Structures are given as structure tokens and as C-alpha cells.
């Protein structure tokens, strides 16, 4: 079991208990009065059977407050993410905090900052780096480098997941598209692991067929669910933060009811990200202060419900480079998320909204993650650490602490030392080529690739992965989702790696 970080102090709050009550009541009212649109006959029948008011014509489900609150109580306060290597298993919930691998569609060239599709080798190397990083606890192989050279789009998520399982022992999660989740679930079950299902409802208040299908698939497999309520203020959601939080609460509670009706007691975490829209460009603004505030409000709600939180404030930046803005936007949002009681945070490696992923950035982000994690662990106050006798003994100058046993014993535990940041003194920095944090991270990546060995797959495990991939490839070929031309390129790409 990977410990992650433990928050040892009261979580940050931005609204009072009474204000939180008003948000919760408002969301219950929305679910009872307006309800949600659910484009899925099986789910509509399930809601109807459980005392919801269902209009089958309009595909509208109105959910009574008692059922919502009953389903909130059915959610366990924590659940297990089962990794390929058991030392990386995660217990998600309570006051633990885990960092996840981030996302980004393409590979980025760090000299030109231009992007392109990623190769098999680049995905593999990014996963080896992910496996090596101390503060990245949860891998997310499926969702970075979605634009893969030579791989048909219907196979990308599965090939990415397979690459993750081959080159990292860490826990994995999984999205859904064109039935790929069904193959992923099969693969995971045969490997004896689980995959947290990432499920995106459409805001406002709409569940399309695909997400409901995936909810059934993951829940019936007994895999934890992670419904997402992700939208922009003043566009898909209302402009005020309070109203947006009501809408987010209504959406997530509707998905919780659905999950608990399908499989009572199933583990659920809520993924949330409410951000403002750039009212000039119509694009989401990451790193905005209102995203931080809504993150805290949703975390407050989730702590009240005792349901794990998967937050995304600071998961990416609007910056197209690894630069000041990138670090600033990612670090501030993530810090707020951690301080307010989040349990998981998608973070390492992504920037330019979701355009690129960089293993170099993941190494740099690992320093931010370490800093935040160390902060969460807080301060231990006991006799030995208070060291009153020592302070009296050393007294005023010329007394000092460098020569003390107490210093030798405690300084490393009490300090966090980032690995990639530049801490060199100026003359040495000049002499050694003026290296910055990115230069250090590049060197670290070379070192990791030369020395780090993820836990290898057994031949049986490799066979399971390959068999499921083969089955999926045939399925998509039969469905016509891989053309002959794509197939030829695909096979050549696989052979050349």
C-alpha cells in the first residue's frame, strides 16, 4: 500500500456550514423539481423502480431527496485502487492525498514548443518516468498522448493502458469510448487489478447513453466509479460560484444515485473542475482563482458526505511552454485542492490546457507535488521536537545548531528538498553552464531511463494483455472502425517497436 500524503490539520473552508446547507438543499431541489435528462432506457427503468418520477418520453428523471441522501450514505468513505504491483495499491478517502499522472494529447518539442503525435517509444518512456517518480501515486496511462502516431483512434486508449501496465506497476484508471472500457475491464479482471472508471456527465444535468453504459460496465465489474462534474462558469454552468456549486452538486448526486442503484455500496469518488470561461475567446481559464474557490466548496460538500474527492484545480495551465505561468497556475490550484481536503489530484506532466504532456514537466511537477505533500503532513509538536532544553543549552550567539545531534537527527525529516529546482550558488551556476530546472529535469529523465526498472510483467500477464488487445483489434476491424489502410500502418507501427 502506498501511503501518499496525510493532511494533518483542519481542511480549508470558504463557506460556512449554513451556506453549505443552502447549496445542498438547492441541489436537492433541482433534482426533485427539474431532474436530469438520462438517455438510457435501462437506467430510466432502474430509476423508476426506485421511486424516482420518470418521464420516459422526455427521458427525464426527478429524484426524491430521501433517495439522494440514502444513496450518499451507501457510498463507502474509502475504497481500494488495486495496482499491478501491490506495493502501489492505494486506499482512497479520509485525509489521504494522492497525486495522479496528468493528461495532454500530444508530444511537445521543448526547443520549438510545437507539438506532434507521440510514438510508442515516447509513451513507454513517459510511463517509465511515471513509475519512478516518488510523488506520483496513481498512473493514468490511458489519457495522455491520445494522439498516437500510427495507432487508430479507437485503439489508442487500450494501447495506452497496455503500455502503462507494461512499464509501470502503479494503479491505473480508465475512461470510455466505443466500448474500449469493456476490453479494459476484461484485461484488468484477468490481471487481478481494478480500474477506477472515469465518467463524464454533460452539464447541465444530462447523461448521454455512452456514459451510462460505462457506469453500468464499471459498477457491475465492481470497479470504483469516478463521475466527473466539469464545466465552465457562465457557459455550461451559471456565472456565480454559489449557483455553479449547486449545479455541480446536483449533477454529482444524480450520478451517485445511479451508481448506488446499479451496485449498492460501490466505491465512488467525485471528479470536479469548475472554471471560468475566457469571455473574449470562449476558452476555459485554468489556474483562475474562481476555480480554486469552487474546488474548495465542492471539497467541503464531499467531506460532509464522506465521499472521496478527485479534484482538478491546477491540473493544467493555459501556458504553451514549461515556464513561470505553467508553474504558477498548476501549483496554486493544486495547493488549494490539497489544503481543502481533496483526496486525489490529477497533476503531473500536462500543460497548454490538454494539448501536451511532457515527462520533463512530470519530473518538475513532482517537486511541486512533494512540496504540497510535505506541507500537508504538517508539523509534529512533542517534547523531542520542541527541544526546549536544547534551546536553553545553545543560548545566544556564539551558540548555534549546526553542530548538534538534534540537527543531524531531524533536519532531513523536517525539510523537503526538491530534486530538479535550481539551488546552485551563482558562481558555480555560471561555471556549470547556467542550468535551470528544465535542464536538471532532462538529466534526471536520462538517469531514470538508464537505471529505473519497473516491475516486469510475467509471461502470463503479457499474454493476457496481448490477447485482449488482439480481441479488441478484431472487434474494431469488424465494426469498420479500422480501415485496411489504417490497419497496415498500425501493424507496421507495432512491428517497428
Partner 1 sequence: METEILENLKKAVVAYDCEGAASWARKAVEEKVDPVKALGALTEAIRQVGDGYEKGELWLPDLVGAAESMQSATPILNEAIKRAGGEKQSLGTVVAGAVFGDIHSIGITMVSTLLTAAGFEVHLLGVNISAEQFTEAIREYEADILAMSALLTMTAPEQKRVIDFLKKEGIRDKVKIMVGGGSINAEFAKAIGADGYDPTAPGAVSLARKLTGKGG
Interface contacts to partner 1, rule CB under 8 A:
103-106, 114-117, 143-144, 146-147, 153, 156-157, 175, 177-178, 200, 202, 206, 208, 210-211, 232, 234-236, 277, 279-284, 353-355, 481, 483
Between CA 113 and CA 331 the distance in angstroms is 21
Between 282 and 398, name the residue whose CB sits nearer to partner 1. Answer: 282
Listing from the earlier edge strand, what are the strands of the sheet with 106-108? 115-116, 106-108, 356-357, 350-351
Between 38 and 376, name the residue whose CB sits nearer to partner 1. Answer: 38
Between CA 24 and CA 38 the distance in angstroms is 22
φ/ψ (deg, to 5) at 6: -120, 125
Q: Count other C-beta atoms under 10 Å from residue 22's C-beta.
A: 14
Between 278 and 443, name the residue whose CB sits nearer to partner 1. Answer: 278
Q: What three-state secondary structure class fits 272?
A: strand
List Cβ neighbours of 472 (8 Å cut-off, separation of 6 or more). 155, 158, 180, 183
φ/ψ (deg, to 5) at 415: -110, 145
Contact 305, 277 (CB under 8 A): no
Contact 155, 482 (CB under 8 A): yes
List Cβ neighbours of 11 (8 Å cut-off, separation of 6 or more). 299, 300, 303, 339, 340, 341
Q: At its nearest, how many Å lie between partner 1 and the CB of residue 115?
A: 6
Between 98 and 144, name the residue whose CB sits nearer to partner 1. Answer: 144
Between 20 and 44, name the residue whose CB sits nearer to partner 1. Answer: 44
Q: At its nearest, how many Å lie between partner 1 and the CB of residue 218?
A: 16
Q: At its nearest, how many Å lie between partner 1 and the CB of residue 281?
A: 4
Q: At its nearest, how many Å lie between partner 1 and the CB of residue 295?
A: 19
Between 47 and 144, name the residue whose CB sits nearer to partner 1. Answer: 144
Give the CA radius of gyration of the chain: 24
Between 281 and 453, name the residue whose CB sits nearer to partner 1. Answer: 281
Between 160 and 300, name the residue whose CB sits nearer to partner 1. Answer: 160
Q: At its nearest, how many Å lie between partner 1 and the CB of residue 210?
A: 7
Q: At its nearest, how many Å lie between partner 1 and the CB of residue 152?
A: 8
How far is residue 393 CA from its own chain's centroid? 49
Between CA 345 and CA 138 the distance in angstroms is 9
Between 210 and 439, name the residue whose CB sits nearer to partner 1. Answer: 210
Q: At its nearest, how many Å lie between partner 1 and the CB of residue 481?
A: 8
Between CA 225 and CA 271 the distance in angstroms is 10
Q: At its nearest, how many Å lie between partner 1 and the CB of residue 333?
A: 17
Q: At its nearest, how many Å lie between partner 1 and the CB of residue 287?
A: 15
Between CA 406 and CA 417 the distance in angstroms is 19
Amino acid at each position: 500500500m502506498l501511503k501518499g500524503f496525510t493532511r494533518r490539520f483542519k481542511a480549508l473552508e470558504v463557506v460556512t456550514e449554513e451556506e453549505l446547507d443552502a447549496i445542498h438543499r438547492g441541489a436537492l431541489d433541482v433534482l426533485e423539481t427539474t431532474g436530469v435528462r438520462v438517455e438510457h432506457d435501462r437506467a430510466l427503468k432502474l430509476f423508476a423502480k426506485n421511486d424516482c418520477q420518470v418521464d420516459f418520453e422526455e427521458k427525464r428523471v426527478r429524484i426524491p431527496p430521501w433517495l439522494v441522501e440514502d444513496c450518499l450514505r451507501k457510498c463507502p468513505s474509502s475504497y481500494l485502487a488495486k495496482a499491478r504491483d501491490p506495493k502501489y495499491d492505494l486506499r482512497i478517502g479520509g485525509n489521504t492525498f494522492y497525486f495522479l499522472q496528468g493528461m495532454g494529447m500530444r508530444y511537445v518539442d521543448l526547443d520549438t514548443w510545437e507539438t506532434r503525435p507521440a510514438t510508442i517509444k515516447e509513451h513507454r518512456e513517459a510511463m517509465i518516468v511515471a513509475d519512478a517518480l516518488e510523488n506520483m501515486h496513481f498512473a493514468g496511462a490511458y489519457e495522455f498522448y491520445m494522439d498516437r502516431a500510427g495507432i487508430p483512434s479507437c485503439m489508442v486508449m487500450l494501447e495506452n493502458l497496455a503500455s502503462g501496465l507494461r512499464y509501470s506497476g502503479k494503479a491505473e484508471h480508465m475512461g470510455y469510448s466505443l466500448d474500449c472500457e469493456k476490453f479494459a475491464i476484461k484485461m484488468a479482471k484477468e490481471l487481478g487489478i481494478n480500474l477506477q472508471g472515469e465518467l463524464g456527465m454533460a452539464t447541465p444535468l444530462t447523461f448521454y447513453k455512452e456514459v451510462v453504459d460505462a457506469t453500468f460496465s464499471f459498477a457491475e465489474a465492481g470497479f470504483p466509479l469516478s463521475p466527473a462534474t466539469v464545466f465552465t462558469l457562465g457557459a455550461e454552468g451559471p456565472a456565480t460560484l454559489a449557483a455553479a456549486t449547486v449545479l455541480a452538486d446536483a449533477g454529482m448526486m444524480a450520478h451517485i444515485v445511479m451508481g448506488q442503484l446499479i451496485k449498492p455500496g460501490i466505491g465512488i469518488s467525485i471528479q470536479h473542475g469548475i472554471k471560468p470561461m475566457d469571455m473574449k475567446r470562449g476558452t476555459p481559464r485554468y489556474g483562475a482563482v474562481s476555480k480554486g474557490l469552487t474546488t474548495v466548496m465542492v471539497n467541503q460538500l464531499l467531506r460532509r458526505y464522506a465521499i472521496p474527492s478527485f479534484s482538478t484545480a491546477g491540473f493544467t495551465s493555459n501556458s504553451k511552454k514549461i515556464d513561470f505561468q505553467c508553474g504558477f497556475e498548476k501549483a496554486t490550484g493544486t495547493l488549494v485542492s490539497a489544503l481543502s481536503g481533496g483526496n486525489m489530484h490529477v497533476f503531473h506532466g500536462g500543460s497548454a490546457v490538454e494539448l501536451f504532456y511532457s515527462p520533463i514537466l512530470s519530473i518538475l511537477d513532482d517537486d511541486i507535488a512533494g512540496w504540497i505533500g510535505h506541507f500537508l503532513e504538517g508539523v509534529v509538536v512533542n517534547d523531542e521536537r520542541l527541544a526546549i532544553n536544547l534551546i536553553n543549552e545553545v543560548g545566544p550567539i556564539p551558540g548555534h545548531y549546526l553542530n548538534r545531534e538534534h540537527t543531524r537527527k531531524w533536519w532531513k525529516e523536517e525539510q523537503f528538498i526538491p530534486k530538479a529546482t535550481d539551488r546552485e550558488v551563482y558562481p558555480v551556476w555560471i561555471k556549470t553552464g547556467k542550468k535551470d530546472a528544465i535542464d536538471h529535469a532532462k538529466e534526471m529523465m536520462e538517469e531514470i531511463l538508464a537505471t529505473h526498472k519497473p516491475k516486469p510483467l510475467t509471461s502470463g500477464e503479457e499474454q493476457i494483455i496481448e490477447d485482449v488487445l488482439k480481441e479488441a483489434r478484431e472487434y474494431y476491424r469488424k465494426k469498420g472502425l479500422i480501415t485496411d489502410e489504417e490497419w497496415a500502418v498500425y501493424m507496421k507501427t507495432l512491428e517497428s517497436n
